[in-house]
């Protein structure tokens, strides 16, 4: 007895889901830039979910807005759509409430912010899932269909799994960036201390006067404090070499 076509399709769909989740894990664990990771995630997710548009929106903690960070869509209108405040629109609500939200037809949904764009792009159903790390929402992943679609519990769980993987990648990258920023700040501080020390010895300045001199030079030449400090130290090294040659 031959297996029915629906059974074969179900097996193929399951195999694609398993393969996609495996690829997602490999992508998150890679050393790619976060923007490349997110772009790969939306591309793979769109294929797995059969999405018309799949996008990831990240939360800017300073402005409190969600902005599109990645999408596989080529639509410039979708890519350039305005940011959302937390609680605003479907994606904003998903982040605020920290729960997945399903909309059968975004063009008729009262809370959807872009009904005209949805009609123009042929968008219909939407599954919006927050990207969570330890009860903190870092953003949201959206999956749109081109026809009315009732998302199953399995589909919701799959997108939640991908959203969680994306959140882990984002947090990991953020921690690395903060570590680099701290190292950079420490390096600048050490340079400043050395530069101030040189100016205090060579120019007979107080520490405050040396700092203000570096600050003023930074403003006058439109250079960073680090660049001015490096220039001061380089000038000091050149002066020492000249003195040695004379001696």
Tokens of 122: 């042929």
Residues of the chain with pLDDT under 70: 1-32, 175-176, 179, 247
Q: What's the pLDDT at 184?
A: 83
Q: What's the pLDDT at 2?
A: 47
**C-alpha span between 51 and 158 (Å, rounded):** 13
Q: What's the pLDDT at 79?
A: 87
Q: What's the pLDDT at 139?
A: 94
Q: What's the pLDDT at 11?
A: 61
Tokens of 10: 């179900």
Centroid of chain to Cα 179: 16
**DSSP classification of residue 3:** P
Domain 179-246 is in which class? Answer: mainly alpha
Taken as a whole, the chain contains a residue count of 247
Give the DSSP H or E segment for 53: strand 53-60
**C-alpha span between 171 and 182 (Å, rounded):** 16
Tokens of 5: 């076509």
**C-alpha span between 242 and 246 (Å, rounded):** 6
Considering the domain 8-175 in this protein, what is its CATH number?
3.30.450.40
**DSSP classification of residue 66:** E
Encode pLDDT of 86-144 as tens digits.
Answer: 999 999 999 999 999 999 999 999 999 999 999 999 999 999 999 998 888 999 999 99
Domain limits of the chain?
8-175, 179-246
Q: What's the pLDDT at 237?
A: 87
Q: What's the pLDDT at 1?
A: 47
């Amino acid at each position: 007895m031959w297996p029915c076509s629906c059974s074969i399709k179900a097996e193929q769909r399951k195999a694609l889901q398993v393969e996609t989740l495996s690829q997602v894990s490999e992508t998150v664990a890679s050393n790619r830039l976060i923007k490349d990771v997110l772009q790969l995630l939306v591309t793979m997710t769109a294929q797995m979910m059969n999405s018309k548009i799949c996008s990831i929106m990240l939360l800017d903690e300073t402005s409190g807005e969600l902005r599109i960070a990645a999408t596989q869509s080529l639509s410039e209108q979708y890519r350039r759509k305005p940011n959302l405040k937390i609680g605003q629109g479907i994606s904003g609500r998903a982040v605020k409430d920290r729960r997945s939200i399903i909309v059968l037809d975004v063009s008729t949904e009262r809370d959807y912010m872009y009904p005209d764009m949805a009609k123009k792009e042929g968008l219909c159903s939407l599954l919006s899932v927050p990207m969570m790390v330890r009860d903190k929402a870092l953003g949201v992943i959206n999956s749109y269909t081109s026809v009315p679609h009732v998302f199953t519990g399995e589909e919701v769980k799959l997108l939640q799994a991908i959203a969680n993987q994306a959140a882990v990648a984002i947090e990991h990258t953020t921690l690395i960036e903060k570590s680099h920023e701290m190292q950079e700040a420490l390096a600048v501080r050490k340079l400043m201390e050395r530069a101030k020390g040189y100016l205090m010895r060579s120019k007979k300045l107080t520490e405050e006067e040396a700092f203000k001199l570096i600050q003023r030079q930074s403003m006058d030449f439109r250079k960073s404090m680090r660049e001015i400090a490096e220039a001061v130290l380089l000038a000091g090294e050149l002066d020492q070499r000249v003195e040695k040659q004379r001696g």
